[in-house]
Amino acid sequence: MNDGLNVTQKKERQSFGTSGHEEKNRVSRMVPRIGMTVDETADYTGIGRTTLRHLIRSGKIPTLKIGRKTIIRVDTMEYFLKINEGLNLLDNDEVRAVK
């Protein structure tokens, strides 16, 4: 099986004792994420999934769609929280949309 690694890279992996899966996880932790799913955004912000989905449907939070998956940019969510600080996110008329 060709895993795309040259001989030196394979030796380094063996000397560090990491599998390909562990290596991928290590690298992914080093790269900051720029997008999150609705569930990840709920965990990140403390806003409930149902409330997030309502804010998305009402056009308050822009998203990206990849098939059935909805992605929210981290910087967009942080800006949304900043411009709505002190407001009731359950009051759709009060909430400011990210444009």
Alpha-carbon span 80 to 97, nearest angstrom: 7
Specify the pLDDT at position 70. 96
The residues that bridge with 21 in the sheet, in sequence order, are: none
Q: Using 50 as the pLDDT threshold, list the residues of the chain that sit under it.
A: none
What confidence score (pLDDT) does residue 13 get?
Answer: 61
Provide the terminal-to-terminal Cα distance of the chain, rounded to the nearest Å: 48
**93 within domain boundaries:** no
Residue 41 lies in a domain: yes
Q: Which amino acid is at 70?
A: T
Residue 74 inside a domain? The answer is: yes
pLDDT at 62: 98
Whether 65 is covered by a domain: the verdict is: yes
| pLDDT computed for residue 91 by the predictor | 95
Question: How many structural domains does the chain have?
Answer: 1
Residue 30 is assigned to a structural domain of this protein: no
Q: In what order do the strands lie in the sheet with 35-37?
A: 35-37, 69-73, 64-66
Measured CA to CA, the distance from residue 45 to residue 43 in angstroms comes to 6
Domain extent for 77: 35-83
Q: With respect to residue 54, please indicate whether it lies within any of the assigned structural domains.
A: yes
What is the Cα–Cα distance from 9 to 47, expressed in whole angstroms?
A: 43
Identify whether 52 is part of a domain: yes
Strand pairing class (69-73; 64-66): antiparallel
Instruction: Give the pLDDT confidence score for residue 33 in this predicted structure.
Output: 84
Of 39, 54, 29, 41, give the one whose Cα is nearest residue 81: 41
